[in-house]
Structure 1
């Protein structure tokens, strides 16, 4: 199969890009591949909202920029921060024009929320399901364009590069080029080729590498892992953001998120003794950046030997809470907690990857004709810690910038040349010679459990050198076992996800080992201070 534009992933990044391309190039075919249904993405689970400067009398671009830089703990790319903050409101307006509904006050003005690390009220939201509303809007808009084709329940196995033409490809190989992907077709159980002159990776996050995560089952780091195997540049994977307040309910996956906006409305974190503790850790108390709040909760849990702390919403305005957070109220009620009478048990859960596929300011990766956008990318915006509600903003800004760059290629005649090349290139079929059906799924499922335990116990909110060394030794063994299985058995989505998750685990641990300092989301007790001031860890 051949297509003009190939997009892997159907969240806010992939669909924003697809819609813009479809409008600009109505005679070109855009193919969007999803491994589940189009709406099952990280975007759908984003509760809090999208940050943007709307009230210019009280807020400013400079304030939003400074909040982002402070949260990023000295590792943000200041040019990128400026780009995202200043271009963001225009991108938000576009999705509003598509039909997205954000909450408003009685006077018709947007109801702006505030979350940890923000100095002003600037978060636009749709109750407590903002991501779901934005995803709904984008799918509806995409379906208006006949040249956008969705392929559902199709698993991407590998990026196709010169490696598949029998060239030796290493990290230092110049002009590594992406020609498309190999995909596992669930209907035929065979691996097919999809070739494209331009490929966009919008594959989302990697939270499933941890035992407890707010991410859906599809968040297995596929884009990052595939790019690493294709010798693309990956950076800053050690910075995994743990959301401080996931509902504590052992065994539930994904963990239900209690949005930071609840604390923005005045909810207070309390330990098992009922004591408000955040003032001991930061002068911003419950609205400190996420890395600080997550470490504070982790400290209180260890100090008191508990598995959770509490979020106290009892003093909040009932009518306002029910209006803004209806899903949180219903979820808590379903497990016997009335938030106006009882405190909510919460604990940190793996939430967001601040690193990923290294891109430039136009979403271009180190591999030619390959773009990356959304959580799978590392644009330089987040640095060592993401400011709340900047992720949806980043995805929209960089998908637009990728579209702008593709438009430039078209105007320069390079797009048609790439299309001609794809139409004439001969690439091999996937080689399954010597493989057989897997005899026992336990080999895969048990390895996933081992991986989750390794990452959660050794590479969590707080780390040290011994834990990281242990994690790497165990990951090495899992890698060897899984690669042997991959070479000897027919490919399945479960095996591919395990392989990708092990690669993600390796990248997180390797990045953490290189970073001999504590910064942002990476806290190593052997280096409690910012001693090295190390810049980006590129792998």
Structure 2
């Protein structure tokens, strides 16, 4: 090892969950260090457009309540939400937003009242926003500035590669690579994963470049359990540009909340008669119907007609700018849209305080599976979850340290790890073809065989190698979960099993790695190798 650092808590990631946790940990007197693969202010949160779904006691629609928000969340989650987790997280939402505003976040509104909009799956106007459609950017700005002024150290452009164990086998910190690939150790009794999502498993995604499933792979290698990985939410309205790959600009759901409608290539309404909420149906329903209608018409994309929205450029400046950059004027013509990988509803299994099954390992934000989202995340519940669980996780670390449940251990310095990697373009092409919106047993098996054959074990000496290994392991876990779930539910759609099966499948598929590196289902089945 060429360098070393120490902390009470090391936070991996600089999105809303990670920075919220770091700020709360500092308030609690914990020595906190943040690791990020990018710049401190470049967390994935900055890409979020829509807003924060929250019922505030002093401002809400007549008849709206936390209980109604709970009901909408459970409905969207298609029977797989943990109702206790939903109630606890949503009940803490208003206080979490108040703390965020106290940290400097500025939301839209007039005369002291906050503006609210409605998004898919919501039965009330409860989504607060900033900068029209730049909520994530404002949240990221406020939290990043608070971390900077608070003196919390951030290791920028460092990559967390592997868990480090102590002399008793317990978690003792993180093996990380600096910007030049030099390995080092951050000694800490507590590690909080806030690494975001796994969108880079797919050829087209709304996620930033850093969304390479690092946290899920790290947690699996540490001995934690992952669940609900088959539930990848595809945003129904990413801006379509022919032949484009990688991150695609998002056309926020709030555009439909303000009255825009989806059309197919023939000009027919896509969602009319499909769902009682029509264009504001839950995302899994909208994405699946767009996918079906594109296949039916033979077109490359669908269209979002927002020409009836007054002052579009002022209300949605981010969307307007993205459209104009590709020659589309949404004030005068429909916006071409397709679905793109957007959000992982599953992840590392935690409680509502961010604790995993591994002492000293915590997770919050998109990387975690708290039970809030179930089979399909309700729009704009993600920023809220990061705010709430990020703060609660820091408090859990402080309690666990005081109670002696975790403690600093002398690390056993590991060699540079090695793991199977797969060519990224091949992996993304394979996952897009076989593990996207419509899945079949044959396709999933073919994808698994392709990745098995293409895997090459290499030392993880670079950020790219760490990311490729994380993508390879997470892809295999996702494929195993999708193959096991022989039904269609929420954002998991099986063409060969189109019906929902509440008798056999109203439960999660949970996976772990055993000591030999074999992936196995802890909910039922024996091990299967991923080597």
TM-score, normalised relative to structure 1: 0.90
- The 1-side partners of 2:389 and 2:506 are apart by 26
1:198 counterpart (167, 190, 204): 190
- What is the deviation of 1:527? 1.3
CA offset digits 1:231-259 (Å, max 9, x no partner) = 21010100000000000013253100000
Name 1:516's counterpart in structure 2.
486
Distance 2:23 2:119 in 1: 30
Q: Match of 1:241?
A: 233
Instruction: Please tell me whether the aligned partners of residues 36 and 155 of structure 2 are also in contact (alpha carbons under 8 angstroms).
Output: yes
Match of 2:97 among 66, 69, 92: 92
Match of 2:300 among 301, 304, 307: 307
* Separation in 1, partners of 2:41, 2:378: 25
1:213 aligns with 2:186: no
Q: Which runs of 5+ in 1 are unaligned?
A: 168-175, 436-442
Q: Assess, with a 3 A threshold, how the Cα gap between structure 1 residues 60 and 499 changes in structure 2: closer, same or farther.
A: same
Structure 1 partner of 2:466 = 496
Q: What is the aligned counterpart of 2:383 among 381, 388, 392?
A: 392
State how 1:380-529 maps to structure 2 within 5 Å: 380-414=371-405, 418-419=407-408, 422=409, 425-431=410-416, 447-479=423-455, 481=456, 483=457, 486-487=458-459, 491-529=461-499
- Contact kept, 8 Å, 1:354 with 1:383, in 2: the verdict is yes
Kept in 2: contact 1:191–1:430 (CA 8 A)? no
Maintained 8 Å contact 1:52/1:122: yes
Q: Contact conserved, 1:234 with 1:357, CA < 8 A, in 2? A: yes
Partner of residue 125, structure 2:
121
Please state whether the residue corresponding to 2:149 is helix, strand or coil. Answer: coil
Equivalence for 2:65: 60
- In the TM superposition, 1:39-54 aligns within 5 A as 39-54=41-56
Q: Is the 8 Å Cα contact of residues 177 and 370 (structure 1) preserved in structure 2?
A: no
> Is the CA contact 1:88–1:397 (under 8 Å) kept in the aligned structure 2?
yes
CA distance in 1, matches of 2:395, 2:26: 13
Match for residue 336 of structure 2?
Answer: 345
2:165/2:412 contact within 8 Å kept:
no
Cα distance between partner residues in 1 of 2:244 and 2:295: 20
Offset at 1:62? 1.1
SS in structure 1 of the partner of residue 10 of structure 2: strand
Report how far residue 430 of structure 1 moved: 2.5
Q: Which structure has the highest helix share of the two?
A: 1
SS of match in other structure, 1:374: coil
**Alignment-derived partner of residue 87 in structure 2:** 82
What do residues 189-248 of structure 1 show as CA deviations (whole Å, max 9, x unaligned)?
Answer: 321111101111111101000000000000000010111122210101000000000000
Q: Does 1:536 align with 2:508?
A: yes
Q: Which aligned runs of 4 or more in structure 1 are off by greater than 4 angstroms?
A: none
| CA distance in structure 1 between the aligned counterparts of 2:191 and 2:344, rounded to whole angstroms | 22
1:286 and 2:279 aligned: yes
Q: Distance in 1 between matches of 2:372 and 2:251?
A: 24
Provide the rounded CA distance (Å) in 1 between the counterparts of 2:416 and 2:403: 37
Structure 1 segment 346-361 matched on structure 2, within 5 A: 346-361=337-352
Q: Distance in 2 between matches of 1:15 and 1:235?
A: 24
Conserved in 2, the CA contact under 8 Å of 1:29 and 1:149? no
Q: Is the 8 A contact 1:30 1:149 kept in 2?
A: yes
TM superposition score normalised by structure 2? 0.91
The answer to whether the 8 A contact 1:102-1:125 is kept is yes
Question: How far is 1:406 from its partner?
Answer: 2.2
Secondary structure of 2:170's aligned partner: coil
Q: What's 1:296 paired with? A: 289
Alpha-carbon deviation of 1:429?
4.4
C-alpha separation in 1, matches of 2:430 and 2:270:
29
Report the counterpart of residue 34 of structure 1 in structure 2.
Answer: 36
Aligned to 1:438: none
The CA deviation at 1:412 is 2.9
Gaps of 5+ in 2: 512-531
How many Å separate the matches in 2 of 1:335 and 1:399? 37
Are the equivalent residues in 1 in contact too, given 2:201–2:471 (CA < 8 A)?
Answer: yes
Q: Which residue of 2 aligns with 1:172?
A: none
Q: CA separation in 2, counterparts of 1:412 and 1:31?
A: 22
Per the TM alignment, residue 413 of structure 1 is displaced from its structure 2 partner at its CA by 4.9
Aligned to 1:374: 365
Query: 1 CA distance for matches of 2:105 and 2:276?
Result: 36
CA distance in 2, matches of 1:509, 1:426: 34
Displacement, 1:407? 2.9
Name whichever of 371-380 and 326-335 sits farther off.
326-335
The CA deviation string for residues 279-311 of structure 1, in whole angstroms up to 9 with x for no partner, is 142121100000000000000110011121000
Q: CA deviation at 1:361?
A: 2.3
Contact kept? 1:329, 1:339, Cα under 8 Å: yes
Residue 431 of structure 1: how far off its partner (Å) = 4.3
Cα deviation per residue 1:337-357 (whole Å; 9 max; x = unaligned)?
Answer: 111111100000000000000
C-alpha distance in 2 between matches for 1:315 and 1:49: 22
State the shift of 1:40 in Å.
Answer: 1.9
